[in-house]
Structure 1
Amino acid sequence: MSQLKFCSRRSPVVCTSGCVASSQPLATNVGLDILKSGGNAIDAAVAVAAALNVTEPCSTGVGGDCFCLYYDANTKQVYGLNGSGRSPQSLTLALLKEHGFDEANPPPPLHAYYVTVPGAAAGWCNAIELFGSKNLSMEQILQPAIELAEKGFPVSEITSYYWKRDAHVLQAAGNPHGKDLLIDGQAPEHGQVFHNPFLANTFKELAKSGKQGFYEGHVAEAIIEIIHSNGGVMNLDDLKNHVTEQVKPIVTNYKGVNVWEIPPNGQGIIALLALNILENFNVKEMGHNTATYLHVLIEALKTSFSDALWFCADPEKVYVPTAELLSKSYARNRSQLIDLQRATCNLHPGNPFSVGSDTVYFTVVDAQGNACSFINSNYMGFGTGLVPDGCGFTLQNRGFNFSLHPEHPNCLAPNKRPYHTIIPALATAADSGELLCSFGVMGGFMQPQGHVQVLLNMLEFGMNPQQALDAARVFVEYNKKEDAWYIFLEDGVPQNVAEELRAKGHTVMMPVTGNSRSMFGRGQIITKGSWWRHGGKLSFSSNVLWAGSDPRADGCALGY
């Protein structure tokens, strides 16, 4: 398989009446059509989510979870939906121990134990109920995806690569219906037309019966059957009892810009922690992607991850000190850990009480100025890869992010949501509440790191949305077994910068090229006006939408 090159030059999309940015052109078009048909940003986002399930099943689907941030232009309020599912009621540490599994010997990553209740279907329905325009029915919103699945679509280049990479999970023994996502037993080629009539039928059931069409009846029974046949313990009550949670988004003010994230169990708190720390440094003077800037950025991310990997858990089950972690005084204390000359090797969670991959992200802004920042994922590619009979989608393995340490806040427990990697983001003007941008960067533990980097690219270094996405990135990875941090630099970061970082004590891996660049995520951005040129203030062209789409994916931004 050839290594794809990421060398295209794209201009930012500019428009005035509505905009959609996603990782797949057909899905972007679907969202735009919904806007033109009278739908709002939420209607279009759900339509895009369904279309991406059809066109990128190796990244996302109705068998996974979703999160959503919604900006209401009339009230200037930001709302959040947590569409993540919970562990089965009968799944316990004791049960795992009976079968020979514990913290030292966990189940393999794709085991059916790791299937948490799929939250996406309910999340889509609840998003429409709460924030949709009421101009379109669920059937109208899902119809474009149904047609794509029934009539077929040509598979895009990067999607084909990852479909092939993970096809083995669909071909595995114990997964008799995995063939439904293959063509003659193989992943589709770039440009080959793929049909998914079973997924079309699942969407028809969801359109007809709402959440009950997924969490009860034959779809639910098929989900439980494939889980049980592979050793899992989820039951019909686990599905029937699932609910989406409307949540109050968390926010921090970074130099006059309010940055919004979903609260834990989502990891968006890492991005806000890092921004609070970085506010104590003059990163603009350091220069974009210089060794000094990347060193401080890396150290801020390491410090933030060390907190979140302990504290980020399901707040319904354990206390998560979100307000304490996001206090500016806590960030000042944590920023003092950063030595400008040397990398920190041993980091531990702070004490806030002492102070007073393989996902799809997309965004929509409608003609009224409402914005939806939306993310949907299976977790590891196809997730477990398990396909319920006659349903046309795979089941996620999100439970892999639970800790099996009995005293960890994120420890596996019945009916609990795990630490969750997928996160959408929004930014508004702190003084006026006006929307500045809706953005996100998909990709496992890269996501909060991507949020920080693309936002600073605009706010500190004056890049437009497309430039902010094009710029080379850094990825910080913690290896738990080795208790070590690894720094991956994308092709485009100069060699001398890598050498300077090594001299400061960082373990640097570079350059990362070709398809391996997926580790740096794939983002989408829509901004209102060219505020990045004006220090976070809306400019004279605030009625103009600017959009960018990540060249590391197949997608595009379109407007009208």
Structure 2
Amino acid sequence: MSTGAMAATSQPMATSVALDVLRRGGNAMDAAVAASATLAVTEPQSTGIGGDCFLLYHEAKTGRLHGLNGSGRSPSGATLERYKEAGFTEVPVDGLYAATVPGALHAWQTAIERFGTRSLGELLRPAIGYARNGYAVTPVVAENWARGRDKLEKFEDSRRVYLRDGEALSAGDVHRHPELADTLELVAEQGVDVFYQGSVAERIVAFSDANGGLFTLDDFANHHTEWVEPISTDYRGYRLYELPPNGQGITPLMMLNIIENAEVSALAPFGADHVHLFAEAYKLALAERDKYCSDPDFGELPVDVLISKSFGESQWQRIDPEQALPPPVASGYRPGTDTVYLSIVDADRNMVSFINSISHGWGCGVLAGDTGVLLQNRAECFTLEEGHLNCIAPRKRSLHTIIPAMLYKDQRPVLCYGVMGGHYQPMGHAYVLSNWLDLGFDLQEAMDAPRFQPSGEKLLIERGLDASVLTELAARGHALEESASPLGGGQAIFVDWQRGSLQASSEPRKDGCALGY
């Protein structure tokens, strides 16, 4: 808790950097960019300048909420025919055919140009220091490093930089990445144009050409970030804001419009009825997401209908309290858990809900030569189904999993939060919010509660649910499977306007840290 400012991120190093920026007079946006850049170095399996960024920003002086979509587009050579000729029936998870143009750096610059008070070069300095001088690998990062070992081993430069004697780094090892430091230095000195129109872009494209990739210089030069209008729904007297497609922000809104028809507060927390309700609402919302969520530049999307109360009520009528719905038409997307989310609130009560990712753990696995840029595998979220709204096409943005959230009450922001975890994120947004509002949990309890997620034909569960609950869920037709890793990980900051204080949560599924002053 604090009264001045607060930062919550998935790494103590990043939280410390954010607080230092705030103490030196920077605002929430400055702190968020500096923290995100630090995470791009210290949590390399999750994020980086080869990935994307989305954010929601509450501007204190106007009371307005702004949304930013920093997702990159597919290469101009990414045609459906090209993938089919290469023998793919779905977009691969690894390799350059999974890569899209990185959007993060351009998004950071766009954000601070409008709302920041510091230069990008200044905000990159802590990250440059960690990349050049080294950082200690933290426990959860080490676990994910070990999981990604086989992917990294496939690619020469990734193997050279991220493995030691062929093995993943362990907790407490010090990792240095001087090539990434050099690229960040170039951006700090010359601006983001060096990444999108200058020598860094030229080196990435040359590497791509030499290794059978699809990138062109025009793909980088034509990249742009977009300010977008947030979308929202009411829930229990509050209003939750998310970002519109191509992100999946419609999904938690659809879930909440279904769930509000139930008296959640009367259910036994984490009992069979409680879990069943959320699992079924998630299935229904995800089916609509997979049908419609895509790049709005490539087709009109029925967003207003999907997030309407009437549609939510009609979906609610489809839930049988005693029998699990058979899985909807499979999306074909594979679960991913590697993203970083952070919340920042400054002394003026500017607030930013900020999320970055390279998609799956270690992205597409490809480090682009000596640039230090580990490329994301966001193209994996496209489908190769001809005629589908989310079918791959040149210079198109795929369905995107990373979503920030902001909750308002009486037209003021009260909760700045997000939950990482690929396709788990909509469940996380709805579940954490309901735990807080419906069950009366404090923020930390709401985050720490045992989780579950429908995935394909399975209901993935974390440890912590009673055996009797599992038996009852199985009797309702849920095919249970213990999740091999924690589901998601989140941060949240609550603004108590009445008492003038801030309360934060950063959960133990990550190496998270929340601090304030």
Whether 1:462 aligns to 2:440 is yes
Which residue does the alignment assign to 1:424?
A: 404
Q: TM-score, normalised by structure 2?
A: 0.96
Which residue is equivalent to 1:527? 494
Contact residue 121 and residue 191 of structure 2 kept, 8 A:
no
Q: Which moved more, 1:225-234 or 1:39-48?
A: 225-234
- Per the TM alignment, residue 177 of structure 1 is displaced from its structure 2 partner at its CA by 5.3
User: Can you list the C-alpha shifts for 1:130-176, whole angstroms capped at 9, x where unaligned?
Assistant: 221x2x22222111111111121111111112112213333224x33
Determine whether 1:98 maps to 2:93.
Answer: no
Map of 2:334 onto structure 1: none
Contact 2:32 2:354 in 1 (8 A): yes
Of the three residues 59, 67, 70, the one matched with 1:83 is 70
Task: Report the equivalent of 1:148.
Answer: 130
CA deviation map 1:44-98 (0-9, x unaligned): 1111111001101011100011111111122222111100000111211112222
SS at match of 2:383: coil
Output the CA distance in 2 between the equivalents of 1:54 and 1:290. 40
Following superposition, the deviation at residue 443 of structure 1 comes to: 0.9
Deviation per residue, 1:183-229 (Å, 9 max, x gap): 45543221111111111121122222222021122211221123223
1:15 partnered with 2:12: no
Q: Equivalences for 1:327-342 in 2 at 5 Å?
A: 327-342=308-323
Contact kept, 8 Å, 1:181 with 1:392, in 2: the verdict is no
Please say if residues 225 and 388 of structure 1, whose CA atoms lie closer than 8 Å, have aligned partners that are also in contact: no
* Structure 1 residue 121 corresponds to structure 2 residue 121: no
In structure 2, what is the Cα distance between the partners aligned to 1:242 and 1:378?
Answer: 17
Structure 1 residue 42, shift from structure 2 partner: 0.8
Cα distance in 2 for residues equivalent to 1:142 and 1:170? 26
Q: Secondary structure at the match of 1:373?
A: strand
Quote the residue 2:253 is aligned against. 272
Aligned partner letter, 1:546: Q
Which residue number in structure 2 is paired with residue 533 of structure 1?
Answer: none
The answer on whether the counterparts of 1:517 and 1:552 sit within 8 Å (CA) in structure 2 is no
Decide whether the 8 Å contact of 1:489 with 1:509 is kept in 2: yes
- Which amino acid letter does the alignment assign opposite residue 24 of structure 2? S
AA of the residue aligned to 1:202 = T
Report what 1:472 is aligned to. Answer: 450
| One of 485, 491, 496 as aligned partner of 2:463 | 491
- Aligned-residue offset at 1:408: 0.8
- Cα distance in 1 between the residues matched to 2:507 and 2:203: 36
What is the aligned partner in structure 2 of residue 256 from structure 1? Answer: 237
8 Å CA contact 1:428–1:435 kept in 2: the answer is yes
Distance 1:37 1:242 in 2: 33
Q: Which runs of 5 or more residues in structure 2 are unaligned?
A: 331-336
Once residues 158 and 322 of structure 2 are traced to their aligned partners in structure 1, the CA distance between those partners, rounded to angstroms, is 55
**Residue 20 of structure 1 contacts residue 32 of structure 1 at CA under 8 Å; is this kept in 2?**
yes
Could you tell me which of 342, 354, 359 is aligned with 1:362? 342
Q: How far, CA to CA, are the matches of 1:551 and 1:107 in structure 2?
A: 33
Residue 469 (structure 1) shift: 1.1
The partner residue of 1:442 within 412, 420, 423 is 420
Q: Which consecutive residues of structure 1, in runs of 5 or more, have no partner in the other structure?
A: 1-13, 350-356, 479-484, 530-537
Aligned residues: 511
Give the distance between the partners of 1:365 and 1:34, measured in 2 at CA: 12
Matched with 1:482 is: none
Task: Work out whether residues 419 and 491 of structure 2, in 8 Å CA contact, stay in contact via their aligned partners in 1.
Answer: yes
Letter in 2 for 1:88: P
Partner residue of 2:485 out of 517, 533, 538 = 517
1:333–1:43 CA distance, 2 compared to 1 (3 A) = same
Give the secondary-structure state (helix, strand or coil) at the position aligned to 1:79.
strand
Equivalents in 2 of 1:382, 1:177: separation in Å?
A: 9
Q: What is the CA–CA distance in structure 2 between the aligned matches of 1:241 and 1:346, rounded to whole Å?
A: 40
Under a length normalisation based on structure 1, what TM-score does the superposition of the two structures give?
A: 0.89
Residue 319 of structure 1: which of 279, 291, 300 is its match? 300
Q: Distance in 2 between matches of 1:316 and 1:155?
A: 40
Checking the alignment, whether the CA contact within 8 Å between 1:226 and 1:386 is kept in structure 2 is no
CA distance in 2, matches of 1:186, 1:43: 36
Tell me if the contact between 2:95 and 2:365 (Cα under 8 Å) persists in the aligned partners. Answer: no
Residue 107 of structure 1 and its aligned partner are, at CA, apart by 4.7
Q: Give secondary structure in 1 for the equivalent of 2:262.
A: coil
Paired residue secondary structure (1:15): coil
Does the CA-based 8 Å contact 2:58-2:413 persist in structure 1?
A: yes
- Kindly, what percent of the aligned residue pairs are identical? 44
Distance 2:231 2:329 in 1: 23
Question: In 2 relative to 1, CA 72–107 (structure 1 residues): closer, same or farther, beyond 3 Å?
Answer: closer
- 2:385 and 2:175 mapped to 1: Cα distance? 43
Give the Cα–Cα distance (whole angstroms) in 1 for the partners of residues 255 and 169 of structure 2: 40
Residue correspondence of structure 1 range 41-190 to structure 2 within 5 A? 41-101=28-88, 105-132=89-116, 134=117, 136-173=118-155, 175-176=156-157, 178-190=159-171
CA distance in 2, matches of 1:517, 1:323: 35
Say what the alpha-carbon RMSD is for the aligned residues. 1.5
1:223 to 198, 204, 207: 204
User: Which position in structure 2 is the counterpart of 1:3?
Assistant: none
**Equivalent residue for 2:359, pick from 376, 379, 393:** 379
Cα distance in 2 for residues equivalent to 1:100 and 1:400: 15
Rounded to whole Å, the distance in 1 between the matches of 2:99 and 2:186 is 22
Deviation at 1:346, TM superposition (A): 5.3
In structure 1, how many angstroms separate the alpha carbons of the residues matched to 2:87 and 2:145?
32
- 1:88·1:414 contact (CA, 8 Å) conserved in 2? yes
1:101-145 Cα deviation digits (max 9, x unpaired): 3xxx3353113112110000101111111221x2x2222211111
Contact between 2:295 and 2:399, CA under 8 Å: does it hold in 1? yes
Deviations 1:294-313 (A, max 9, x none): 11111111100010011000
Change (3 A) 1:367 1:90: same
**Secondary structure, counterpart of 1:381 in structure 2:** coil
Q: Structure 1 residues 115-124 or 186-195, which shifts more?
A: 186-195
Deviates more, 1:231-240 or 1:164-173: 164-173
Q: Could you tell me whether the CA contact under 8 Å between 1:178 and 1:386 is conserved in 2?
A: no
2:514 aligned residue: 557
